[in-house]
Structure 1
Amino acid sequence: ELFSKYGHDAILVPIMKTGIPDNPASLDELCRKVASSKVDFLIFSSTIGVRYFFEQCGNVPDTTTIIAVGPRTQEAVIDKGLNCETIPSFSSDHFASHLGSRIMGRTVGIVRPDIPNPGLVDSLTASGASVLEGVAYRLVPTGNDLREILPDVDAVIFTSGKSFNLAGVSAGDVPDKTVIAIGPKTAGMMRDHGIVPDIKGNGTLEGCLKALAGQSR
């Protein structure tokens, strides 16, 4: 639907799927802290994180401010009957500027996959927050081969550094394609492997599609 809005047909090739984390201890601890009102801010970066958190943890008290990344994550939180603040895209700078001095001396919980984000943690602790991370799900390869569909597409979007790595795509696979990185971290990963993205998005699919539309004018 989102791709159709911008006049594109999409072929979706899932490179990763989600699963229950090998060690649930960090999420269990975050759940206990949230339930006892010891977490002041709770960050969800994806709809998947929302789903796994509430399957395990139940509700969030009114004393906790929920931060959702992007409109789809916002919708997932609202569907749980909760209010939230929304950051348009995932970026350590966006979190720091949005939360500002409010997190000084406060506890911030992060619901995340089994991929750490030290840049985000550092930006929050630098603002005076204590950070508690809960690994809600893990990301594992699907075995799908993205290269099989590349002859049939004009552009390809990589939605994370890990999915790019697992795809195993090289510069020789995409010589005549518009290559898009969803955000700065993914773009950096791609450059490290010899692919310079034509478009670097703002951390959201819609941002990438807007940039692609602007490029094609």
Structure 2
Amino acid sequence: MKIAITRLKEKAKKDAELCKKYGHACYAVSPMEASVYEDAVTSFAARTNEGEFDCIFFTSALPAVQVAPLLKKWPRVIAIGPQTAKTLESFEILCETLPAFYSRDFVPYLGDWIAGKKIGIPRADVPNPALISAIEEKGGIVCEVPIYSLVPTKEELLLDDADAIIFTSANSFSYAVWDKKTDIIPVAIGDITGERMREGGVSPAVTGDGSLEGTLIALNDYIGKISGETD
């Protein structure tokens, strides 16, 4: 199966290898692009090097790519998932990885340790009030720093050769320009993306666990089921 995966160009490098592992070919389609705030990146890295934060939470690989090369020292570092962790480790930054792949898992993972700690979160210019509230309810101090924005490309996605499309975030679906009536299999990387898709009139045939690998496993399960029904 050939799969289109909504990705920022900066984040698509390792998808082909993972898709091949599960018997598929893939290519990236980009409904949005990143506009990096260079001054904010430099400032956040400097504050980290000065020891301002007790913990940094990287919510995707892109902030890691921008911030990690500038770090000389760092506190406790949490990655939202394995791809973000691999990015950080490529810069020799040791980190912990959440057991699931959602920001909502951050506070339960850290538990009472959060109390009195200052948490730095370099992220897209999209506030996460639920995460902020959860940290503050545990007595933590939040410093959420926008270091890039997501800008719609407004270009129609090239899907003629694709059998399925995986939307890797809620915004990647909302910003996508494509023919929703096509026979392509719509796939959500996780439940938050799936909810946004349903709100937009598209019911995902497959919903993953928040990771690309988990989504590919779920997609293969789905393919197996529909193949069995048509045999």
TM-score range relative to shorter protein: 0.7 to 0.9
- The answer to whether structure 1 residue 216 and structure 2 residue 223 are counterparts is yes
- Give the Å deviation of 1:53: 1.4
The answer to whether the 8 A contact 1:170-1:193 is kept is no
Q: Is the 8 A contact 1:39 1:108 kept in 2?
A: yes
Q: What's the offset of the Cα at 1:160?
A: 1.2
Kindly indicate whether residue 207 of structure 2 is the aligned counterpart of residue 200 of structure 1: yes
Q: Deviation at 1:60?
A: 2.9
Out of 26, 34, 48, the residue aligned to residue 34 of structure 1 is 48
| Partner Cα distance (1:86, 1:96) in 2 | 13
Structure 1: any 5+ residue segments left out of the alignment? Answer: none
Preserved CA contact (<8 Å) 1:13 1:144? no
For residue 28 of structure 2, the aligned residue among 2, 9, 12 is 12
Gaps of 5+ in 2: 1-16, 225-231
Whole-angstrom distance in 1 between the partners of 2:209 and 2:98: 11
SS in 2 for 1:72: helix
Aligned residue pairs, count: 208
- Give the aligned residue type for 1:59: K
Tell me the residue number matched to 2:82. 71
**How far 1:131 sits from its partner (Å)?**
0.6
TM-score (norm 2): 0.81
Q: After superposition, give the CA deviation of every residue in 1:62-90 in whole Å (9 maximum; x if it has no partner).
A: xx100012212111111222211011443
Change (3 A) 1:144 1:60: farther
Root-mean-square deviation (CA), in Å? 2.1
Partner of 2:3: none
Q: Deviations over 1:156-176 (max 9, x none)?
A: 11111111111134642x4x3
- Structure 1 consecutive aligned stretches of length 4 or more whose deviation exceeds 6 Å: none
CA separation of 1:170 and 1:124: change in aligned 2, threshold 3 A:
farther
1:134 paired residue among 122, 134, 145: 145
Query: Is the CA contact (8 Å cut-off) linking 1:45 and 1:90 kept in structure 2?
Result: no
Q: How much identity, in percent, do the aligned residues show?
A: 35
TM normalised by structure 1 equals 0.86
1:102-113 counterparts in 2 under 5 A? Answer: 102-113=113-124
Q: Deviations over 1:31-87 (max 9, x none)?
A: 3432222211101122211121135x43233xx100012212111111222211011
Matches within 5 A, 1:58-97: 58-61=71-74, 64-97=75-108
Question: 164, 179, 184: which is aligned to 2:186?
Answer: 179
For residue 184 of structure 1, report the CA deviation from its aligned partner.
2.0
